[in-house]
Amino acid sequence: MLLARRRFFAVAGGAAFALSAGSVPFGSARAATAPQVRIGDLYIDPNAEDLEFSKVANDLNGKPVQVYGFMAPPLKPDLHFFVLASMPLNTCPFCDTAASWPSDILVVQLRHRQPVVGFDQALLVNGRLELGEAIDPDTGFVSRARIADAEYDVAKVAKPCAFGQTCPGA
């Protein structure tokens, strides 16, 4: 019964997302205004040995942002945080040969627990960007960039369609 409830939330979340116009996720008004950032844009050179935050990243530090990404394999079974990667690392064996991995990952600290979604699902994460080294009190791991107070939604993906057409849902 309660698992059903959990699923219901997942479905309800997805449905609300589908209902809301365009790529704006359901719910908060701040989400509509938060600027979108790409994980790769956070650093001047994601492939550099010594990662330096870009101007875009520094400007948005402490502000609400939206980031697209994929959930990396879970570090802890208890999902109050997860790691967001720019590519679906669990399902794309060729994606992670890139030198930038795993420097350009973001630790997403969830506001409240959310259902686990497939690792191949694109996510849209809403939250506050936090830069600089910090130690996670629960795991003892150091992170460089985080999205705090976050919520995520499954991003809408395009349905397959014939050549020459604009696919629906894109």
Partner 1 sequence: MSPRWLSPAPSGRPAPGPDFLGLGNPLPVILADLRQTRAGVIAVVLLIAVAVALGVGVSAQERALREGSAKGANAFDLIIGAPGSETQLVLSAVYLQASALPLIDGKIFTTLNENKNVKFAAPIGFGDSFNGYQIVGTTAALATLGDTAPLTAGRTFAHVTEAVIGADVQIPLGATFTPVHGQRAVIGQEVEHTHLQYTAVGRMLRMGNPWDRAILVPIEAVWWVHGLPAGHAQYQDIFDLATHADEAPGADETPEQHAAEVAAATKAAANLPIGAPWDTNLLSGVPAIVVKPATFAAAYSLRQTYRQRTDTMAVFPAEVLIQLYSLIGDVRSLLAVISVVTQVLVIGAILLAVLATLALRRKTIAVLRALGASQAYVFVTVWLNVSLMIATGAMLGLGLGWIAAIVISRVFTDRTGLALPVHLGAPEFILAGSIVVIGLFLAAVPSLLTYRQPVSATLRQ
Quote the least distance from Cβ 66 to partner 1, whole Å. Answer: 21
Between CA 105 and CA 83 the distance in angstroms is 7
Site for partner 1 in 84-123 (CB under 8 A): 85, 96, 101-103, 105, 107, 116
Quote the least distance from Cβ 76 to partner 1, whole Å. Answer: 5
Stretch that binds partner 1, among 41-49, 59-67, 69-77, 124-132 (CB under 8 A): 69-77
DSSP helix/strand/coil, 27? coil
27 binds partner 1 (CB under 8 A): no
42 binds partner 1 (CB under 8 A): no
Instruction: Out of 35, 40, 73, 168, point to the residue binding partner 1 (CB under 8 A).
Output: 73
Pairing of strands 122-135, 36-37: unpaired
- Enumerate the H helices of the chain as residue ranges: 2-19, 29-33, 55-60
Instruction: Out of 37, 72, 87, 150, point to the residue binding partner 1 (CB under 8 A).
Output: 72
Which pairs from 48-54 meet CB under 8 Å and 24+ separation? 51/103, 51/144, 53/131, 53/145
Between CA 9 and CA 52 the distance in angstroms is 39
**Residue 80 in tokens:** 């109050």
Name the residues that contact partner 1, by CB under 8 A.
Answer: 1-4, 72-78, 83, 85, 96, 101-103, 105, 107, 116, 136, 139-144
